[in-house]
Amino acid sequence: MKELYLIAAMAENRVIGAGGKIPWHIPQELQLFKKLTTDNIIVMGRKTYESIGRPLPDRENIVISSHKIEGVTTCRTILEAVRIGEQTDRKLFFIGGADIYNLTVNIVSHMYISWVKGRYKGDTYFPEIDLLQWREAEKTYFDEFTMIHYTRPQSSSYSLI
């Protein structure tokens, strides 16, 4: 089974989005996202894709939707996206939003979480997770956020999705 990755930026109150957008602008965080995901596969929900407005360059973009979307690989299920990832050596990152994190947080074995300092108003939240199940493999401090790379053994439920 392929190891699966998740990447997210969240505030201390777990907010990840507000009004269809990310409620902060932290260029250093975007650079980290770019560095980690470039040359790999990114899988996102249709609303996140619309919020970004275009496929992100130098990565294979997969959008999860019940409808075909022009100009980008569309999958109806997470499993369909994972199967595409299994055919390559590239890493597969679930990049949000909340619907996609809810569907995948139990099947990934790596999470890159940027903990953004402060509490934000928003309407979209990262799922509640038990961080005791996770090991902090790496922790990097920045002025506006702390990036933690969490790992755990691959969940066997992955084979059931």
Q: Considering only the stretches 89-97, 104-112, 128-136, 144-152, report the one whose residues sit in contact with ligand NAP under the rule CB under 6 A.
A: 89-97
∠ at Cα 119 (114, 124), nearest 5°?
75
Burial tier of 159 (Cβ tally within 10 Å: 0-12, 13-18, 19+): exposed
Smallest separation, CB 123 to ligand NAP (Å): 7
Per-residue mark of binding to ligand NAP, 3-22 (x: CB under 6 A):
-----xxx-----xx--xxx
**Is omega for the bond preceding 97 within 30 degrees of 0, making it cis?**
yes
Q: Measuring CA to CA, which residue among 107, 123, 103, 106 is closest to residue 51?
A: 123
137, 149 contact by CB (below 8 A): yes
Between 10 and 32, whose beta carbon lies closer to ligand NAP? 10
Q: How many residues bind ligand NAP (CB under 6 A)?
A: 28
Under 8 Å between Cβ of 96 and 108: no
Give the nearer residue to ligand NAP in terms of CB position, either 93 or 109.
93
Site for ligand NAP in 119-158 (CB under 6 A): 124
- Token pair of 1 as six digits: 């089974």
Between 64 and 109, whose beta carbon lies closer to ligand NAP? 64
Closest residue to ligand NAP using C-beta atoms: 97
Rounded alpha-carbon distances, angstroms, from residue 153 to 19, 30, 110, 157? 35, 27, 9, 11
Closer to ligand NAP by Cβ: residue 101 or 109 = 101
66 part of the interface to ligand NAP, by CB under 6 A: yes
Q: Does 96 bind ligand NAP (CB under 6 A)?
A: yes
Contact residues toward ligand NAP (CB under 6 A) are 8-10, 16-17, 20-22, 44-48, 51, 64-67, 76-77, 95-100, 103, 124
